[in-house]
Chains A and B, each alone.
Chain A
Amino acid sequence: MTGTASGSRRGGGIRRGEARAGWLFVTPAVAIVGVFLAIPILLALWVSFSDWNGFRSPLNPNVNFVGLDNYAAITTDTGLDQRNFGRAVRNNLWYVVFVVPLQTIVALLLAVQVNRAVLRGRGFFRTAFYFPSVTSTVAIVVVFQFLFTASGAVNAVLGFFGINGPNWFNDPSGVFHNILAAVGVTSAPAALAESGPLGVTWWEWLAGPSVAMSSLIILAIFTTSGTFMLLFLAGLQNIGAEVDEAARMDGAGPVRTFFSVTLPMLRPTLFTVLTLGLIGSWQVFDQIYVLGGSTAGGTITTPAFLAYQTSFDDLKWGQGAAIAFILFVFIILLTLFQRWVLRERDPKGMGRGGRRAGRGGAADPRRHEPDAASAAVGADPADRALLTGADAREDGDAGPRDGSRS
């Protein structure tokens, strides 16, 4: 309603002022984002194709173009660099395999429980579950290090059950390897011991997350489930309690209702949560940095951290930038895939730009789904938060939908 109304019936004089004001207004934001985001990416792209060693400017004439050498060093050339990259990919892959489904299930469980219409104290529970998402990763890691230290709280609790807990953050052994060891398999079968992708043997690929990485997996679930719980809550509230009641009256039990009615209707939200989780969990950096990166035999190093380490510690700038770009392309592809699917599914989504979604939200808040917002949002978790925020905010202001329930 707004975009079309403004301007079209205006005279030339005002219009000229409008054009100037328009550019003046967007220039600061465009300049900041351009100079500190767009241009730097191009600069780093150049570095990833160069032999720059960190000395003077990467644009000085002594820096040479080396083609795909940096990319080859970490992917095709056999050697330590390739193996480090392979290990980082493996570490992160297991992290993703566990974090994405688990955080989704936990978030859904929390949302369904909190969403009960007759429940008292829902505000308290939502606060409790969401609070870890508000605090900084640094603080959370400090807390987790304390809890998961060898003689810490977690092992003390395990001790009650007669379990001898591991030395969590310092234990490099793979979880699957440990399970196999428990049944007597301690070394690789010949077929798996030889070779594997990226210089890492199949046996190592199949090790599972290390015990140290498992603590980070728990940390991730702890901190993100609250966030995704809110997304699911929004989805559940869009469905409304009536549907649930209708299904119950038709004689479906609570479990049946959940799986045959609620869950299918939550599918767009579910897809959003899964893909956001997927995109987010390939970007683990803060936790690894705070923990020192190469602890636990390098089993918690992720590609994001390896890119940093290779550049800033080992001063192999080209190689570090190359790792960052591989990650960059991969995450962009995931994001584009998500946007594409959500556009198909949700015609008022963000695929064609914000206008329609914005308008839809204003006109009829009930139709406003969180997916549209998240779909538009990129891979950066903070940005994502911003958008989802703005979106639901309209809902909150537009109607007492939520207020009537709490």
Chain B
Amino acid sequence: MTDLSTRSVVTGDGGRDAASARPTRRRRISPKARAGLWTSYLILIGLALIYIYPFILSIAASFKTDADATQNPLSLVPETVTFAAYERLFTGVPFTLWFGNSVLVAVVVTLGRVFFDSLAGYALSRLKFRGRSMVFVFFIGVLAVPGVVLLIPRFLILQQVGLYDTYAGMIIPLLSTAAGVFIMKQFFDSIPVSIEEAARIDGAGQFRTFWSVVLPMARPALVTLIILSFQGSWNELGHFIVSRQSPELNTLTTGVASLVSGQLGSGNQFPLQLAAAVLMTIPVAVLFFIFQRRIMNTTAGAEKG
């Protein structure tokens, strides 16, 4: 619908004026439009400051003393630059352990999702088997389940199967998502089937074909899946609240959350908390900046709603 109307407008008007309009467009930018552009810049720069300043301020404050951070909340330059907060993070708080746990969980979950989701997505897209549409409907249905109502159910099942408070319990439930399966299926739907057919005619088995012919072709989709899986499991909080209780199994999210609520006697020590927030943001930030173009073209990112 939308598209049709778009086109008719374009041809109806643009067609008539195209020849004369194009060459003159540059000159037309003159006073009024330029004023508009400047207002745009002003609005954007103002907004960008609002979005960026909190982060810069936080980084600055993590190098301040507790008193300095409280008394000069707006200053970007510490009175004296101190690494005390970072030192405490690594000596007084098991931050390294949390970091290690987060890395472990995020890496395993990402690898698992890439493998299981593409396997299932490929089967749903390409392989004929009885019950395929049923499986597909199952995944579509599961997509609608809001994550936040899974807290109690996940705890119950982990207790029931004896995986509560283990790495396995933290990792296995996250190893596959309906959305990941769906992405991969959509991707396989969109690429031509001819290359695999050639491989099949050469006598390669289903898994061989998948592993050495199809998967390498799916790189764009896999990169998307990797980025989002890593980001998602790195930032995951709810599942790690209900799947474990031992302090040794804290990830960065649960660990830093305990810092905030002052469980470790860190009540109002802003530099310490901010240093933790800065360090836990670095891996996703690096990922974000490396794949920036791809992410911004593509993802909707994690929503905090």
- Specify which of A114, A286, A320, A346 is in contact with B238 (CB 8 Å cutoff): A286
Tell me whether A129 and B48 are in contact in the complex, defined as CB-CB below 8 angstroms, given that A40-B154, A151-B73 are known contacts.
Answer: yes
Question: 29 interchain pairs (CB within 8 A)?
Answer: A6-B127, A18-B129, A25-B122, A25-B127, A43-B160, A113-B43, A135-B284, A136-B237, A142-B256, A142-B276, A147-B57, A149-B268, A153-B74, A156-B73, A238-B3, A265-B5, A280-B303, A283-B305, A289-B237, A324-B153, A327-B149, A354-B182, A367-B3, A378-B146, A382-B232, A387-B179, A388-B300, A391-B186, A391-B298
Bound together, the chains give a CA A296 to CA B54 distance in angstroms of 23
Q: Is A249 an interface residue (CB 8 A)?
A: yes
Question: B99: CB under 8 A from chain A?
Answer: no
Interface flags, A65-86, vs B, CB<8A=1, else 0: 0000000000000000000000
Whether A354 contacts B57 by the Cβ 8 Å rule is no
Partner of B142, one of A23, A143, A240, A378: A378
Please determine whether B187 and A328 come into contact, CB atoms closer than 8 angstroms.
no
CA distance A395 to B2 in the complex (A): 18
State in angstroms the CA–CA spacing of A39 and B153 once bound together: 8
User: Once the chains bind, are A307 and B152 in contact (CB under 8 Å)?
Assistant: yes
Contacts of A382 in B (CB 8 A): 147, 177, 179, 228, 232, 302-303
Decide: A402 and B237 in contact? CB cutoff 8 A: no
Main secondary structure of the interface of A (DSSP, over half): helix
A125 touches B149 (CB 8 A): no
Quick check: A3 and B273 within 8 Å, CB to CB? no
Among listed B80-88, B89-97, B113-121, interface-contacting one: B113-121
* Chain A positions 169-184 with a Cβ under 8 Å from a chain B Cβ: none
B143-190 with Cβ < 8 A to chain A: 143-157, 159-161, 172-173, 175-190
Q: Within the assembled complex, what's the spacing in Å between the Cα atoms of A395 and B297? A: 8
- For window 308-342 of A, CB contacts with B under 8 Å fall at 308, 311-312, 317, 320-321, 324-325, 327-328, 331-332, 335-336, 339
Main secondary structure of the interface of B (DSSP, over half): helix
Q: Among A277, A289, A345, point to the contact of B305 (Cβ < 8 A).
A: A277
CA–CA, A143 and B276, complex, Å: 10
Q: Are A119 and B119 in contact (CB under 8 A)?
A: no
Q: A376–B274 Cα gap in the complex (Å)?
A: 38
Complex Cα spacing A218 to B139, Å: 34
Chain B positions within 8 Å of A58 at CB level: 156, 160
Q: Is the CB of A246 within 8 A of B44?
A: no
- Judging by beta carbons under 8 Å apart, are B253 and A138 in contact? yes
Check A320/B73 contact, CB under 8 A, given A231-B300, A395-B297: no
| Contact between B14 and A383, CB atoms less than 8 A apart | no
Q: How far, in Å, is A138 (CB) from chain B's closest CB?
A: 5
Asked whether any CB of chain B lies closer than 8 Å to the CB of A2, the reply is yes
Q: In whole angstroms, how far apart are the Cα atoms of A402 and B237 in the complex?
A: 34
Count residues of chain B with CB under 8 A from any CB of chain A. 143
B70 at the interface (CB under 8 A from A): yes
Given contacts A135-B285, A378-B144, is CB(A227)–CB(B301) below 8 Å?
Answer: yes
Q: 7 extra interchain contacts, Cβ-Cβ under 8 A, other than A118-B29, A138-B260? A: A33-B138, A114-B44, A142-B256, A142-B277, A385-B228, A390-B183, A390-B224
A224 at interface (Cβ–Cβ under 8 A)? Answer: yes
Give the one of A143, A226, A243 with max B CB within 10 A: A143
Tell yes or no: A380 within 8 A of B by CB. yes
Q: Which chain B positions have C-beta within 8 A of A250?
A: 13
Whether B202 is near chain A, meaning CB under 8 Å from some CB there, is: no
Asked if residues B58 and A146 are in contact (CB atoms below 8 Å), the reply is yes
Assess A43 versus B37: contact at CB under 8 Å? Given A312-B242, A388-B298.
no
Interface residue B212 (Cβ < 8 Å from any Cβ of A): no
Q: Mark B1-42, 1 if CB is under 8 A from A, else 0.
A: 111011001101110010001000000010000001100110
Contact B294 A396 (CB under 8 A): yes
- Near B by CB (< 8 A), chain A positions 141-177 give 141-147, 149, 151-153, 156-157
Which of B14, B146, B183, B299: most chain A Cβ within 10 A?
B146
* Cα–Cα, bound, A29→B40 (Å): 48
Closest to B231 in A: A134
